[in-house]
Structure 1
Amino acid sequence: MKRELIALVAHEINRAYCASLGDDSQPAWADAPEWQQQSALAGVDMHLANPDATPEQSHASWLEQKLADGWAYGEVKDAEKKLHPCCRPYEELPPEQKSKDYLFRGVVHALKDLPDAEEAVREFIENMPAAPSVPVVTLQDVPQGHVAVAYVGRRPDFTDRVYGTGLTFVQGQVRVLPPDIARKFLRHPDQFAEGTIPVAPPAEQPAQTDDTAEILAQAAKAQQEKHEEHSNLQDVRDQVTHMTSKEALAHFALTNFKQKLDKRGAIDDLRAQVLQLVDQFGVV
């Protein structure tokens, strides 16, 4: 219960404060006698019921309870004899004792709006997002030699931006990969582990289509196109590099990029200008 947590925190803060004053007589909450725990709980209840209560009123409530339980003033605290040095009016307390009431009140008001632990857990469960659906791979879909790889990372999803596969995973998802690609992913044990290939579902529950092969094919095609583009670009650069006349360079720039070059410049400068146009606009 929240009130018990507040009482525990208030007790431990009071125990630490007493220790700072040289008073090591206060036991930990777990070791505190029943009467001491009940006294703290009563103080919490008083402040929860009376949020505007002052530290002086807090002490008055505590003192009333103590007197009703048979406690009396004593210079030294003695639980067996029910003697307590604070069993006197608030105005007669020394400043360090008055501070305890300020601390107690502050703890209650700081923690009173926190949800109960059980309420917090229930609210978390109610608001927890639904688990993402994970595609199912049936045994008959697995090419020979391929490896099942499961995403075990802490993030809810993962997109490969290192190996150029274009693959995405959600937590717990298993993809069946070619062995060379599987080895790359399994180099990262904090994110991937060798998985178990799920068995085929019942006939009335057809498996979802696994898109791993399709994504890998698309990534391979994109890499091939990128390679061809780079190769074509390099061929054009080589062509420009081997031009030995200003006229050829100027004609190339005008024909391909509609740019007029000043043929009065040095041939190396013209060549550099054309190469810059090739890098900027690509192969046209």
Structure 2
Amino acid sequence: MKVIVIAGAAHALIASISQEFGDTAVAWEDAGEGYQQGIIAGVTAYFENPDLTPELEHQKWVEAKQADGWVHGDAIDTTPKTHPLLLPFAELPVEHRVKAAILHAAVHELKDLPDADEAAAVDVAAALAKVPARQAAPSAPAGPGKIVVVYIGRKPTYTDHLYGTGLSFRQGQERAMPAEIARKFLRHPDMFEEGSAKAVADAPAKSDKVEDKDEDDDTTRQLAAAKKLEDENREKENRILDLKQQINIMTKDSLAEYAMTNYKQNLDKRKSVAELRQAVTGMIDQFGVV
């Protein structure tokens, strides 16, 4: 159970550094099963192979994803299988490389901890993983909790795919956005700079009853659309995880019925239940949840 303790400690460190990059820190229990499994898998991999480096561990993850049909894309999407981090380690955003290094360091520094029973390990991990959110530094009052960002890049237009916001910019365009998102853009001083809040503050209020289709700063709408897509993708991913867990406890008859009902596929019940579960899982990966 040492792995669980180290996973909790690693999460605490990663969540803390995430705040430095403008991300929101969440407690371990709120991080989602997929995230938790990823951290635990990383800790386990470093335990099993002490010579493993963050670069090699990432490459193994990329190869496993690609073998499962995933390709690089602008956002995480289970249909089709796309993921923005399916890149060589050196091309990952700096925050992801830092987090990978933290996980690696946590395992090597804590690997000699004494083993604990399962209940104690879970309690310790939960305590370690409760990272208090720090107050963000004050910024220009571009609306409550917002910072104005100006696009100054060389290209005439830019659309964000790195941080999943989907925001588009024209050269010189200002957008007032939540501070945690703005700070991500401002990590790239060759492309973005902090703007003045005055233009935003002085802008006339829009009537709720009038739709202004020519409104220049549609940041809120674009962010809402990106958030909706992110939530939908997360929901799809969670449905797939839940379904796979159900598959892992199904009997042969249940598996055969499920495959026929949902995928019109006949299963050979002479095969072992493990083989049938693997076959049905493959159908889910190939065709999605139906």
Q: Which has the higher contact order (CA 8 A, sep 6+)?
A: 2
**TM-score for both structures, normalised by structure 2:** 0.46
